[in-house]
Amino acid sequence: MTSWSDLDYDVLGHIVTFLPLADHHRFSAVCRNWRWVAKHKHCSPCAQLPWLVMRQEASGVRRKFFNLTENREYYIDIPHLYEQYCHGSSYGWLFIVDHKFKGRLLNPFTSELYELPEFPKMDAEMNRGRIVKAILSDDPSVKSDFTVVFSYGMDRQAVFWRPGDSAWTYIRCMLGAIKDAVFFQGRLYVVYSLGSIYTIKLGPNPTARLVGPKGPPPPPLNGVCYLVDFMDELLLVHRSVKNIRDSSDRYVVTKHFDVHKVDLATRRLSPCMDLGDYAIFLGVSSPVVVDSKQFQGCKRNSIYFTDVHVVCKLSEREYGCHDLGVYDMKKDIVEPYYPPEIFQPISEPPIWLTPNCNRRTFN
């Protein structure tokens, strides 16, 4: 009888495609042959819920991750994340910055890196709180001509970079502070603080074109806003928050979400009251949309969210993550999905990361 360890490599490679990331690593620990298949077959794990990238240990060695599928924490030693601060993720890549404000793109599960140019001057005072969010147009693992866009500064401006560029290019569209940006159907869309949505044509001299809304404006954008590519529809999501103050700290708590569909043909917004079987994951990372039917324990018609990015100066002590939760669209309530005893540095909110084990196949 053939031993499990002697199974054909092609058979083992087929099995690996059905495994989520945690089981992928357990598979690789069985024996030498299985480890070789897990490492060299370049099979990305099956579809899975995003993980939360949490704080670095006090020792500065391991990084904490939370696997929502298993409701379990993992402490993973990733040398490239030592003394790095995470400011966003797209397609399983992290946008990281060190204490000297050197930026990189990192796939933490393949250790692939892209060095980014020196950041432009951010206001009078340089600090990590000025970096708001970074997004990608495409997965760098499968497309070499991707684009990085990041917003920064007290006035929420934006710049972009493509491989081969020697510096960042400013998106000089003086339309107010940027609330959020997303790549949708191959184009960059931006929502500004006054509620206007523009598409930006990127190039040496970026230009903006108004695409909505026409007619009554959406609810006042004085909370947090997101643009979401939802099943080939563009959504504008408004997150209402309440400021909480006590004698020792200040923080925010999410109370409600308003969701609108953006009709680019008519330039109008229409309320979206039901996400169906889908769930949206929002935070300082790019939005992630998943089919809840594929994942046990994932709530349908819901929005999972993490702490918002805090710009104002608060105490540097560690504090409980007050604003992690899942919003039920039908019930209009917020429920927890993470144990309340979690602690996270205020300078680094948790980030959703969809594990990506694809490796570049081009030079």
Mean pLDDT, rounded, for 55-75: 78
Confidence of residue 27 (pLDDT cuts 50, 70, 90): low
Q: Are 166 and 184 in contact (CB under 8 A)?
A: no
Which range, 12-16, 187-191, 193-197, is most confident? 187-191
346 Cβ contact partners less than 8 Å away, ≥ 6 residues apart = 310, 314, 315, 316, 317, 318, 319
* Percentage, residues of the chain above pLDDT 90: 34
Specify the fold of 1-46: Monooxygenase (1.20.1280)
Q: Are 344 and 52 in contact (CB under 8 A)?
A: no
Considering only residues 4 and 193, tell me which one the structure prediction assigns the higher pLDDT.
193
Residue 272 has pLDDT above 60, yes or no: yes
**Domain made up of 47-353: CATH architecture:** 6 Propeller (2.120)
- 295: exposed, middle or buried (Cβ count in 10 Å: 0-12, 13-18, 19+): middle
Look over the chain and give the mean of its residue pLDDT values, rounded to a whole number: 80
Please tell me the pTM assigned to this model. 0.84
Mean pLDDT, rounded, for 333-359: 76
323 Cβ contact partners less than 8 Å away, ≥ 6 residues apart = 241, 251, 252, 253, 254, 305, 306, 307, 308
Considering only residues 315 and 178, tell me which one the structure prediction assigns the higher pLDDT.
178
Return the pLDDT at 152.
Answer: 78
Mean pLDDT, rounded, for 346-351: 74
Which range, 26-35, 155-164, 238-247, is most confident? 155-164
Mean pLDDT, rounded, for 155-164: 86
Q: Rounded CA gap, 306 and 118, in Å?
A: 29
Return the pLDDT at 240.
Answer: 87
Query: Comparing C-alpha atoms, which of 78, 68, 63, 88 is closest to residue 109?
Result: 78
| Long-range contact pairs involving 166-173 (C-beta distance under 8 Å, separation at least 24) | 166/117, 167/117, 167/118, 168/117, 168/119, 168/120, 169/202, 169/204, 169/206, 170/120, 170/206, 171/200, 171/202, 171/206, 172/206, 173/198, 173/200, 173/206, 173/207, 173/208
Residue 110 has pLDDT above 70, yes or no: yes
Question: How far apart, in Å, are the Cα atoms of 8 and each of 1, 19, 31, 41, 300?
Answer: 14, 18, 14, 12, 39
Return the pLDDT at 1.
Answer: 45
Return the pLDDT at 228.
Answer: 97
CA torsion, ordered 334, 340, 342, 348, to nearest 10 deg:
30
Return the pLDDT at 131.
Answer: 73
Instruction: Give ∠ CA 312-313-315 in degrees, rounded to 5.
Output: 135
Cα–chain center distance at 248:
30
Residue 53 has pLDDT above 50, yes or no: yes
**Which amino acid, residue 146?**
F
Residue 319 has pLDDT above 50, yes or no: no
Peptide bond into 213 cis (omega under 30): yes
Q: How would DSSP label each residue in 241-293?
A: EEEEE-SS-EEEEEEEEEEEEEETTTTEEEE----TTEEEEESSSPPEEEEGG
Mean pLDDT, rounded, for 84-107: 88
Of 8-12, 51-55, 211-215, minimum mean pLDDT range: 8-12
Mean pLDDT, rounded, for 84-89: 86
Q: Rounded CA gap, 313 and 129, in Å?
A: 9
**In the chain, domain spans:** 1-46, 47-353
Reported as a single tens digit per residue, the pLDDT across 284-309 is: 889 999 999 988 889 999 999 987 65
Q: Rounded CA gap, 86 and 103, in Å?
A: 10
Domains 1-46 and 47-353 share a fold: no
Considering only residues 307 and 28, tell me which one the structure prediction assigns the higher pLDDT.
307
